[in-house]
Amino acid sequence: MKKDLGVLPAVYPMPVLMVAAYDNNEKVNVMNVAWGQICDEDKIILFIGEGKKTWLNIKESKAFTVSIADKAHMDAADFFGIASGNKIDDKFERTGYHAAASDKVHAPVIDEFPVAMECELLEFLHTDYVAGIVGKIVGVKAEEAVLDEKGKIDPERMQALIFDQFRHGYYVTGEQVGKAWNAGAALMKGE
């Protein structure tokens, strides 16, 4: 029997995404975003509140990067979520992290995070119920250490963080327990 928990954001797991953009002085700002998702083969949507430093930077620069946070960099990833760029001017610098300019868009790629998507701003969505930023993914960069022998990103090697909204914890991805488009194949045959 299920117990009624009321209204809460009951989606698990949530990604731990590091969204980075330059301000009008080319200063790097990074924000931790759990409410984001791929919305097409080459598009991503981020639900970032209007007026956040990163939102303002993306509006100005028309570009951003989205990195996947990993276990090795959890402290800084969490800091990027609890510290506001509107209130802490040296937010990125406090971490000691490094950024390189993307060669595809006008946005920084954070060196320490293992996978980064380079994105062009497509549009801001703003309705009575949703505020979001849609970006076109124009490139993906990954550290060789997280790639398998075929050159694909290996979740076990990456140790990507996932966010638990129920107890506000971070967990790590990794173990493969099945193969997509295969685990349910027997049901297609009625077996």
Residue 46 sits in a domain of what CATH number? 2.30.110.10
153, containing H or E segment: none
Considering the domain boundaries, does residue 7 fall inside one? no
3-class state of residue 51 by DSSP: coil
- C-alpha count within 13 angstroms, C-beta hemisphere, residue 46: 31
9 close to 165: Cβ distance less than 8 angstroms: yes
Model pLDDT for residues 58-68, shown as the tens digit of each residue:
999 999 999 99
Considering the domain boundaries, does residue 177 fall inside one? yes
41 close to 47: Cβ distance less than 8 angstroms: no
Instruction: Give the closest residue to 67 by CA, choosing from 123, 93, 28.
Output: 28
Considering the domain boundaries, does residue 3 fall inside one? no
Considering the domain boundaries, does residue 159 fall inside one? yes
Considering the domain boundaries, does residue 6 fall inside one? no
Distance CA 158, CA 145 (A): 8
Name the H helices within the chain: 53-61, 74-82, 91-95, 155-158, 185-188
Q: Give the pTM.
A: 0.94
% of the chain beyond a pLDDT of 70:
99
Considering the domain boundaries, does residue 164 fall inside one? yes
Considering the domain boundaries, does residue 24 fall inside one? yes
Model pLDDT for residues 127-180, shown as the tens digit of each residue:
999 999 999 999 999 999 999 999 999 999 999 999 998 999 999 987 888 889
Q: What range does the domain containing 35 cover?
A: 14-188
Number of domains in the chain: 1
Distance CA 69, CA 160 (A): 6
Considering the domain boundaries, does residue 105 fall inside one? yes
Q: What is the pLDDT of residue 35?
A: 93
